[in-house]
Chains A and B, each alone.
Chain A
Amino acid sequence: MAIDLDLCTGCGGCVVACKSENNVPINGRAPEAKGAEIEWMSLLPRGSRDEPESGLPVELMPTPCFHCDNPPCVKVCPVGATYRNDEGIVAQIWDRCIGCRYCTVACPYSRRSFNWKRAEWPDSYRSMMNPDVALRPEGVVEKCTFCHQRLRRVREEAKVAGEEVPREVYERLPACAEACPAGAITFGDLNDRDSRVAAMAGSPRARRDYEHIGTRPKIYYLSKARREFR
């Protein structure tokens, strides 16, 4: 995935779309729920604390799971409830998770959420639940899946039709990419050199977060205002 921060307006559309598509619980604003929020896609500020003297504008970064090529969360999971599939997507088996939260503390980017209580939604949301995505029980960890249910659907439809899935379909496939009004989020196969996402990843504006940790994340951020990540 490539996210062009120069295009991103920080509207939060990706966050809302993600919540809606993936039945992400809405735990409310009660004081006891503080710190128990579940977000697969977050808008995180960048620059306000790290470089107050730099004079660079504060960027809001859409931040999903980075689906690392060398994911610490996968290595530490004691029961194999999370794994990196053949396509490089870091997947999660909800039902196998025992809720030890080792993956959440091992993830350098803290992109995994634990269900600290039974999932809740406002009543008005209940009729809009996505039947393609399983609801997660209390006590398990969940995270962004790159909307694998959408990926599976387009592939199955293409298979039935006896066609290949066009590259353009992938580009706006995840809910966050589809909802982005500025077209800042692009999805695709980084190994496909002709894909748009691979071209964006090769841009001189592109960078990856905290590459020195060795996780090899698969989210590329594009920005003119380049910053060194520590």
Chain B
Amino acid sequence: MNGIDDVPLANLRLPPLTWKGSLGLVVFPCCLVLFGLWCYAQQRLHGDIVTNMRSVGSGGAAWGVFILSSVFFVGIAIAGVEIATLAHLFRIRELRPLSRLSEYVAVISLVMGALCVMADQGRPLAALRNLPSYANVSSPFFGSFTLIVGVDIAASLVMLYLGGRGDAAWCGRQKRPWSWAYRLWATGYKGSDNELRRHRKARFWLSLVIFPFIVIAFSTLGFIFGIQGGRPGWYGALRAPSLLIVASISGVGAITAIAGLFRHRIAAPQMIPERAFLRLGNALVVLISVFFYILLSETLTERYTGREAEVRVSDAILFGDYAPAYWTMVGTMLLALVMLLYQFVRRTPRVKLMIAVGLLVNVSVLLRRFLVIVPGQTNGHFMNYVDGVYSPNFLELGVLAGICSLGVLALVAFARLFPIVPLNHYHGRIVSEFVPESARRRLTRGSLSALTLLVGLSLAGVGLLYSARFGTESFLDPVLPFSPVIFIVGVVLTLYSAAVYVVAPPG
């Protein structure tokens, strides 16, 4: 049988960059990051007036490209976690090679989403201080702040951590400048049968918990818009499910495109099987069909009932200032669907086609996010305000380009330093002999995991109750200071009990 040293793990990393590659993947993104920092400095120095965002009612949009990008990135992250968890839950072998990339894309996207939200805040430092102190459960932002930014990052990290320990152990044994970091990652890892079994068990249960959890977390983002009865164009019961479907499309598309691009670059492309692309393509066919179904039912509902404010928003989207964006969105998504159906009918995976589809659906989804968030602010006011149109200016796009470039740099760095395919699922073990675990160790492990779980659940419950102003009037501060943070810590500990089960006790 194969020992882990026989496996060409190095072939699964991005090879050293050529000067052209360095220019495109390192130097250019670094320049964009610097430009983004300069743009953001302008925003902070002169106020948000340097952006194209303006007050609702003046024809402007108070939420613009930052919020829509934030929703977009979080959507990609959610789909990343979905792919990773589904691969483990349903043991979909073709998707397992993509699980690490999905987890890593999820972590990066969440950080990018959080940065977009921070770029949008009028007082970012006050946000960093006041959100942990006072975040209120009645605001859908509470869910975004605690569940998405706090907990989803933790969940993605723990999945990444557990899944990467085997490969980190191998990397740590190589004579490389960063080998200490790999050894730290793989602390305590032996690769024994027992350990691998625990790994599998922990990841299965973690996936089972995380999957519904991320659906709830992302729904809170949908509720930010969907439950606003006073904002025509936003209000609707389908808003959260629709956002989730669209998030899945963009995430699956993004991961498909990234995996396809990496597949062309790594030395062992066969480790990302072509059938994985066929699977993802078929999933996209279903998701895009559901998307069109929801789009049609939303449009019919808005136009048939004929509430004036709703119709004005719908008019602006279908025939007015936003029509080019709308019809481009429909066109690109339809084109992607046709390409996918071609692949589906031929039953032959086509990686280049899937890369193109991944890019197309993401253009379409970005436009969809724009059309959900912006026209409802610039058009269809109840009061007699002027209608208008919003488009981002170069400063906003500069900040966004900086954030995206940070994501590219992080992705390239990860792919250079670490295998992007989790090889240990197929080969990995270091100690092949079966050494039964002593009863005492099992008991210690069980007790530590249960204790972590119990403490986590208790803290989450207490944090949530006090964030909801339990025992006081809703407008008063929480009785327990930093209740939202306690809630986050509680949920994170609950998820990390899986890691404790795998890692503890050391030795």
Using a CB–CB cutoff of 8 Å, the interface residues on chain A facing chain B are 32-37, 44-50, 63, 72, 74-81, 83-85, 95-102, 104-110, 113-118, 137-141, 209-210, 213-215, 229-230
Contact = CB atoms under 8 A, between A and B. Distances in A.
B308 A116 contact: no
A116 B136 contact: no
Contacts of A210: 230, 382
B434 interface: no
A230 B307 CA distance: 8
B135 A118 contact: no
Top 9 A-B residue pairs of the complex, sorted by shortest distance between their CB atoms: A99-B122, A108-B230, A139-B122, A35-B54, A83-B475, A110-B57, A117-B47, A35-B58, A78-B141
B130 interface: yes
Given A105-B228, A106-B228, A116 B49 contact: yes
Interface string B280-311: 00000000000000000000000000011100
Interface in B339-388: 377, 381-385, 388
Contact of A32 (B49, B59, B145, B307): B49
B355 to A, nearest CB: 36
A12 to B, nearest CB: 16
B231 interface: yes
A204 to B, nearest CB: 23
B125 to A, nearest CB: 9
B274 interface: no
A100 B228 contact: no
A98 B130 CA distance: 7
A76 B141 contact: yes
Contacts, number: 166
Given A76-B139, A97-B123, A138 B47 contact: yes
Decide if the interface of chain B is mainly helix, strand, loop or mixed: loop
B88 to A, nearest CB: 33
Given A99-B123, A117-B49, A110 B55 contact: yes
A interface SS class:
loop
B327 interface: no
B443 interface: no
A230 B55 contact: no
A32 B54 CA distance: 10
A95 to B, nearest CB: 8
Contacts of B2: none
Contacts of A84: 475
28 contacts: A33-B49, A35-B60, A44-B384, A46-B384, A49-B384, A76-B141, A79-B130, A81-B130, A95-B126, A99-B123, A101-B62, A101-B63, A104-B56, A105-B63, A107-B56, A108-B229, A108-B382, A114-B55, A114-B62, A114-B122, A116-B49, A116-B55, A138-B47, A139-B123, A140-B123, A141-B122, A214-B229, A230-B382
Contacts of B139: 75-78, 102
Most central of A46, A63, A110 by chain B CB within 10 Å: A110
Contacts of A104: 55-56, 62
B121 interface: yes
Most buried by A among B60, B383, B384: B383
B167 interface: no
A34 B54 contact: yes
B142 interface: yes
A107 B62 CA distance: 12
A83 to B, nearest CB: 3
B121 A80 contact: no
Contact of A35 (B55, B123, B309): B55
Most buried by B among A72, A105, A230: A105
Contacts of B315: none
A98 B308 contact: no
A140 B48 CA distance: 11
B314 to A, nearest CB: 15
Give the interface centre of B123, B229, B477 by most chain A CB atoms within 10 Å.
B123
A100 B382 contact: no
Given A44-B385, A106-B230, 7 more contacts: A47-B384, A50-B384, A78-B139, A83-B475, A100-B121, A213-B382, A214-B229
B138 interface: yes
B446 interface: no
